[in-house]
Chains A and B, each alone.
Chain A
Amino acid sequence: MTQTLDLGPRVELVSMDPHFHDITIALYSPGSDGQPAYLVHTYSSIPGADERLARLRQTMQTLGGMEAIGEGLLHFPCGHAHPLAARRVFLDSCKLKPEPPAEAQPLNVFDKKSNGTITVASLGNGLYEARPADDAQGTERRVATIARGLMRLGEMEEVDGQPNQTRFSCSQEHDDLIGLLLVRAPNVRAAMREAEDMASRGVLAAPSAQE
């Protein structure tokens, strides 16, 4: 009798939770009644692990605008999978300390490169536009970069002739999710590098390839 479960495809993994005894936490996509849904899971039976997962689910709802749909499952209210965005919500939620409870991120970000603030406005139907904040100078060229960053992080779509705009394929608003993605949008490369570094850990190299 095996103890491992059939949880569907694994979407993302945090090998060592920095906030709870280094347990491994994974995000699975079990598919609930044909609807895209996500399950946060650990095989650890350390006392307190269930509470840690409950807090993590709450953080994902707050930061990513996800909803609990019972049996520990989460989904986006639009009913679409948005798998890259879900991964980002999971990874960033795992990084946060359990206390104090997380708060949704604002729709603006300070951009170090332009030394100014960039905001993102919802234009409705899942369409978002990056703009320089009213009082910021020199951020004009960076807004397109921010919009591209959102596209890559959230698997959003390009808008023809509008480099500062991007939209969700579901045509639904995801303000909380945009707030979360916006934190990393100015430096997507760093986010990608971090993901690559995580992926390369735990891969055994032959002695000839080790340092």
Chain B
Amino acid sequence: MTASMTSRQRVLAALKREPVDRTPLCNPTSVATVELMDLVNAPFPEANRNPELMARLAATGYTELGFDTIMPVFTIIQESSALGCKIQWEQKDNWPTVRMNEPIWREPDDIKVPADLCTHPDTTCVTEAIKILRKEYGDEVAIVGKTMGPWSQGYHCFGVEPFLLMSLDDPGKTKLCLDRMKEITIQFGQAQIDAGADALCLPDHATGDLVSGEYYQRYLRDMHIEFAERLSVPIILHICGRTVDRMEYIAQTGMAAFHFDSKNAPQESMDIVKDRISLVGNINNPETLFSKGPEAVNTEVTRNLEAGVQLVGPECAIPLQTSIENLKEISRTVRTWHRDQASN
């Protein structure tokens, strides 16, 4: 056991699989809820477009819920807005979405990274929020940014169906598109690093329901290796769904961590990745955090701790109506479990 660490030290150590004083609570994706929005008067959709509100709402993950991270990029559409996608910003109780049935690109030559990608109001909002948080919290807590991967951008900018069909019909064209879109990931990620992010979540939705492990290896593994090399902070890859068929490839990328879904058992996932990449997650959102009570949360958190998962947290952005009681239970369980381990 190491001496007492700050939240930031704890998270950064766990991302490198170094010793920690206790398992860090990490949210690479949003833990915002409608009740927390009221608590700090920072409701959606404004909290996705105003840096002060974004920072204030994000900080509640640390100040109220006991996480060791603050992650201000609640949505998956900030850079898509900067690219020109049509956004439905929705209301306080729902997530903004890209209108993917109105794609902005059809061919590789359509892909243009706009000069104002990182100065657009919806991307600047993120970088400004990170600066605010860095200034307010200094080195005490890990600040995690988010930059979307090219596969997710493909869905947003080409539409899900056209993009998947392209990947079937014309792998060369698909690779060209991905190669061009990866610059969006790099530029927005770098802007957040420059603003003070300690780590980046990189969602790339090659999800278990639509894309096979072989697809991941063919289209994305090498690109993810490149991200890990070019972005200078620890990268946390996020892919939803059942992903054990690609965890071997993911473990080869050099990324710091994989944010994994509850459809993958903690122990089986740890057995695959071994010590090559940290795992973070995998508390179920819709059934456990949203619909059940603290006892069920406790059971899932404990299962992850016993499997040696390096960072514990929700599997994905939590439902906005999730109860505060359940979210606090994650922190309570981690602390109690470590206290019990120490006394045994």
Contact = CB atoms under 8 A, between A and B. Distances in A.
Q: Do A and B come from one complex?
A: yes
A24 B38 contact: yes
B328 A22 contact: no
A104 B330 CA distance: 42
Contact of B38 (A42, A203, A208): A42
A4 B316 contact: no
B205 A207 contact: yes
B116 to A, nearest CB: 23
Interface string B69-95: 000000010000000000000011111
B93 A202 contact: yes
Closest 3 CB pairs of A and B: A202-B320, A15-B93, A44-B38
Given A208-B160, A208-B205, A24 B34 contact: yes
A209 B211 CA distance: 12
Contacts of B264: none
Contacts of A45: 38, 41
B240 interface: yes
Nearest to A49: B38
A23 B43 CA distance: 9
Interface residues of A, number: 31
Interface string A1-31: 0111011111001011000001110100000
A162 interface: no
Interface in A84-138: none
A201 interface: yes
Contacts of A44: 38-39, 41
B64 A2 contact: yes
Contacts of A8: 325
Contacts of A46: 41
Contact of A204 (B92, B207, B316, B328): B316
A5 B155 CA distance: 40
Contact of A15 (B92, B97, B207): B92
Contact of A2 (B63, B97, B286, B291): B63
B159 to A, nearest CB: 10
Contacts of B167: none
Nearest to B210: A208
B contact patch SS: loop
Interface residues of B, number: 45
A23 B328 CA distance: 22
Nearest to B44: A202
Nearest to B240: A206
B209 interface: yes
A201 B321 contact: yes
B103 interface: no
B39 A207 contact: no
Contacts of A3: 39, 63-64
Given A202-B34, A208-B210, A9 B293 contact: yes
Contacts of B290: 199, 203
B321 A4 contact: no
Contacts of B30: 204
B323 interface: yes
A199 B30 CA distance: 18
Interface string A65-78: 00000000000000
A24 B33 CA distance: 10
Interface string B35-62: 1111101010000000000000000000
Contact of B93 (A2, A16, A204, A208): A16
A199 to B, nearest CB: 7
Given A43-B36, A201-B321, A202-B319, A207 B93 contact: no
A211 interface: yes
B228 interface: no
A13 B33 CA distance: 12
Interface string B97-116: 11011000000000000000
B34 A13 contact: yes
B57 to A, nearest CB: 12
B106 to A, nearest CB: 18
29 contacts: A2-B64, A3-B64, A8-B325, A10-B325, A13-B35, A13-B321, A16-B91, A16-B93, A23-B38, A24-B92, A42-B38, A45-B38, A199-B290, A199-B321, A201-B320, A202-B94, A202-B319, A202-B320, A203-B286, A206-B241, A206-B316, A207-B100, A207-B156, A207-B205, A210-B97, A210-B98, A210-B160, A211-B100, A211-B101
